Amino acid sequence: MTGERRPNVVVFDYGSGNVHSAVKALEAAGANVTLSGDFATAMAADGLFVPGVGAFSAVMEALEASGGARIIDKRIAGAKPVLGVCVGLQVMFENGTERGETTEGLGQWPGDITALPAAVVPHMGWNTVSAPEDSVLFRGLHYERFYFVHSYAAQQWSLDVMPPFPEPALTWAEHGAPFLAAIENGPLTATQFHPEKSGEAGIQLLRNWLGTLPTD
């Protein structure tokens, strides 16, 4: 982003785990980064990074309590970019079921988050992904590996998109069964893996996302 204004990104601070690695990764990718849970600050940012660590229900409770659910909804409604990571992807769906308990999500996408049918969970470590050729997020990264830590995932996609809206770019991975590793859907982008823990490939992926942000 040499010669261009560095985009302003807010890492939304609502008490979800260690967010400092996300701040450092985004800075390395070329952003001016603020760690904040303030409504006005989050709304004014060029991009909003929504982390998510732990149980679906706990993340939803924290998002609701902090006003994060409202911020995410208003940003997406206004075509303001949002990037959700790990459980930050999962809560964008209608529901999450963990240990027999179903919790309502943000409902930005239809569908449920369910347990991976794998012999070993959590799915922890490096894995390859299968991204569409026209993916902006994975531009130059089609043969890279990314770092995952999760036991639950979106294993189906059921959103019907009608013209003139473009089809979402869906990236898949596999652990016991195919699951969505990343989604690019207008202003809303999300990854099941942790780009901030995925080395240089993760930094480049964040750089690709930053390149989509309007900075005028």
Alpha-carbon span 142 to 87, nearest angstrom: 23
Please report the pLDDT score of residue 211 as a whole number: 97
Please report the pLDDT score of residue 21 as a whole number: 95
Alpha helices of the chain — where are they, by DSSP H? 20-29, 39-44, 56-66, 68-77, 87-90, 199-210
For the chain, which residues make up each domain, given as ranges? 8-210
- % helix / strand / coil in the chain, to the nearest 5? 25, 30, 40
Report residues of the chain scoring pLDDT below 70.
1-3, 216
The set of catalytic residues is 86, 194, 196
Please report the pLDDT score of residue 186 as a whole number: 95
H or E stretch at 178: strand 178-185
Please report the pLDDT score of residue 3 as a whole number: 56
Please report the pLDDT score of residue 151 as a whole number: 98
State the architecture of 8-210 in CATH terms. 3-Layer(aba) Sandwich (3.40)
pTM beyond cutoff 0.85: yes
DSSP for residue 67: T
Please report the pLDDT score of residue 18 as a whole number: 74
Please report the pLDDT score of residue 68 as a whole number: 97
